[in-house]
Structure 1
Amino acid sequence: MRTSTRRALAALTATTAALLLAPGLAAAKPVQFPVRGYVAAEVAAQLQTALPARFTPLVPQRVLDTRTAGGPVGPGGTTTLDLSARVPAGASAVVLNLTALTGAEGGFVTAYPAGTGRPQVSNLNAPAGSVRPNAVTVALGATRAVTLYNQAGNTHLVVDLAGYYKPATGSYYTATTPTRVLDTRQSAAVGPREVVAVATGVPAGATAVTLTVTGIGGAAGTYVTAYPGGSARPEASNLNLAPGQVAANLVTVPVGPGGRVDLFNLAGSTHLVVDVAGFYTPGGGSEFTPLAPFRVGDTRDAGSAALARDTTAYLPFYDFLPEGTTAVAFTLTGTAPTAGTYLTAAPTGAARPLASNLNLAPGETAANLAVVALNPYRELDIYNFAGSTHAIVDLAGFFGPATAQG
């Protein structure tokens, strides 16, 4: 279905929007997120060699800490993370938690397959003197390695490995409409060195869950660690918070008995909000096709405009992702917001969920990995709550029907 047809359907009422699965119907989409002209060719080229893969979750394990070995990565510098001893031969992508600890100058960090050219994307934005994490899903290079590029300043990098994708091995993904399963603002903040158990609601047999963890209004600088419920806490972190900060990070973590995930808060008291985005099971679902990361769209491009207050922009994937695509993995970056705000990504045409993917302070540049279900037409919405903000989408891969690889 092309854009002209979709514009004609924009006059459909909210009642018909509820009939999203009926052929030929779509919800009103008044604003389109800009898509760069090279995107279709880029995907087509990568699909010549990319293979669908399944996921094997790991209890989070630290695989790099430049504070204890190697020293900070300088401006314009790179470090290569060899994961050949951590993931098996044939692994095609990994899920990491990447944390940057900046000095006097901040910048951005890019993760990409080792041995390839550095793409014009970013995974993590960190101002001077900050500790900033972000989840990263990234394709591996030929030697099962990932290169990390630091744009500016002297920056320490800490990396925790959460799992890997490999063809014909592991669990399948099921994307869901984001569902809020914890909000401690309705009860009590999580205290220092306290653990809160989260019932994720995943089905029996699930191996892992993907969720957005947001920290709000901490009394002290702290970090939060997610790990399988009832197990020993690993030496890893998922979310770093400055006092009073509101920030989110995507987490993919194995589940404990009953689908439980534990969240540990190091210091002070902080509120935690958890939104489930999907889960992995061995019995069926979608496989992931990793792509070398590239920029899909940027509202700062000529002819585009920032997302206005209380505005939803739809992002069409139907021209470049295969039919049957169920979800996408991308880094969502917000920059130059005029007010404190949040962004929510969800399937186009569905009711906007009570959830968020990215929180922004006025003037801040920040990023978060998002794994978001698409509607049957391969579209998703990006909603901006307050003020105006620019948004950037860098694609890491997509989920689609299971193949007959094994």
Structure 2
Amino acid sequence: MHDTRTGLGSLRTQDIGIASEGVHRMSIDTALLAGVRPVALALNVTVTDAEASGYATVFGCGERPETSNLNFAPGSAVANAVVTPVISPDDPGFCVHLSAPAHVLVDLVGAFPGGGDFTPVRPTRLTDTRSSGNRIGTSAGDGADLMVAVAGHGGVEPGASSAILNVTVTDVRSEGFATVHPCGARPNASNCVSLEPRGSRMTCGRSR
């Protein structure tokens, strides 16, 4: 849908050159929405060729949230699944804030119509293990669990049965993976794969 590089290989891109630091408004070709008047969009957002380390925040062009959707380093390519409110159902655009100049690619995955079961909320950080200094898991690879309360917190209704989360793993000390799942039996699958040491970050968006 959006590619700030050349647009090569795609029929539906907008070439605006490398995006500068700041807020950039992204418009939507309503033909892509098949008649849906959305209140929110499901997107895949990629930042590449950044000129400096920074972060990106995708939001509905109102007050910008204090949380980021992905973090990037110079020359890296980082992607994340994002759900964002739109400006309005009749103007289904959104904004991308960059803390440093970079190229941005946005792929449309889906749209949420009004009156559905999905309720967008202001992004809120539910937990951050860096504040306690205690890492999750061990270098021996036997793993550890972290329980995070979601329903009834951060604007989520107490009776919510699922939530779309942005999960970031950072300061990795050994190779491994992370799995986000409802508390109980852990599925034999990972949400974040290829976690590597050397202080790397892996950001992944998941619905649970």
| TM-score bracket relative to the smaller structure | 0.7 to 0.9
1:127 equivalenced with 2:73 (yes/no): yes
Q: How many angstroms apart in 2 are the aligned matches of 1:316 and 1:294?
A: 12
Displacement after TM superposition at 1:304 (Å): 5.8
Q: How many angstroms apart in 1 are the aligned matches of 2:162 and 2:203?
A: 19
1:83 equivalenced with 2:31 (yes/no): no
CA contact (8 A) 2:126 2:150 kept: no
Secondary structure, aligned partner of 2:148:
strand
Secondary structure, aligned partner of 1:346:
coil
Aligned match of 2:46: 99
> Counterparts of 1:361-376 in structure 2 under 5 Å?
361-362=196-197, 363-372=199-208
Displacement after TM superposition at 1:131 (Å): 1.9
Secondary structure, aligned partner of 2:74:
coil
Q: How many angstroms apart in 2 are the aligned matches of 1:167 and 1:104?
A: 38
Aligned match of 1:355: 189
Aligned match of 2:99: 151
Secondary structure, aligned partner of 1:292:
coil
CA contact (8 A) 1:113 1:292 kept: no
Secondary structure, aligned partner of 1:356:
coil
Q: How many angstroms apart in 2 are the aligned matches of 1:89 and 1:327?
A: 23
Q: How many angstroms apart in 2 are the aligned matches of 1:118 and 1:299?
A: 24
> Counterparts of 1:11-90 in structure 2 under 5 Å?
63-68=1-6, 69-75=15-21, 77-83=22-28, 85=30, 86-87=32-33, 88=35, 90=37
CA contact (8 A) 2:49 2:77 kept: yes
Q: How many angstroms apart in 2 are the aligned matches of 1:103 and 1:323?
A: 39
1:163 equivalenced with 2:101 (yes/no): no
Whose radius of gyration is greater, 1 or 2?
1
User: Which one has a larger percent strand, Structure 1 or Structure 2?
Assistant: 1
Change (3 A) 1:296 1:113: same
Q: How many angstroms apart in 2 are the aligned matches of 1:156 and 1:319?
A: 37
Partner AA of 1:164 in structure 2: A
Partner AA of 2:170 in structure 1: T
1:308 equivalenced with 2:137 (yes/no): yes
Q: How many angstroms apart in 2 are the aligned matches of 1:104 and 1:318?
A: 38
Aligned match of 1:344: 179
Displacement after TM superposition at 1:318 (Å): 4.1
CA contact (8 A) 1:84 1:145 kept: no
Cα RMSD between the aligned structures? 2.0
Q: Percent identity?
A: 27
Instruction: Count residues with an aligned counterpart.
Output: 188
Aligned match of 1:293: 123
Aligned match of 2:12: none
Q: How many angstroms apart in 2 are the aligned matches of 1:81 and 1:295?
A: 25
Partner AA of 1:150 in structure 2: L
1:109 equivalenced with 2:56 (yes/no): yes
Partner AA of 1:105 in structure 2: A
Change (3 A) 1:292 1:84: farther
Q: How many angstroms apart in 2 are the aligned matches of 1:338 and 1:108?
A: 22
Residue ranges of structure 1 left out of the alignment (5+ in a row)? 1-62, 170-286, 373-406
Secondary structure, aligned partner of 2:146:
strand
Q: How many angstroms apart in 1 are the aligned matches of 2:36 and 2:207?
A: 25
Q: How many angstroms apart in 1 are the aligned matches of 2:36 and 2:181?
A: 35
Change (3 A) 1:160 1:318: closer
1:334 equivalenced with 2:169 (yes/no): yes
TM score, norm. by length of structure 2: 0.81
TM score, norm. by length of structure 1: 0.43
CA contact (8 A) 1:112 1:119 kept: yes
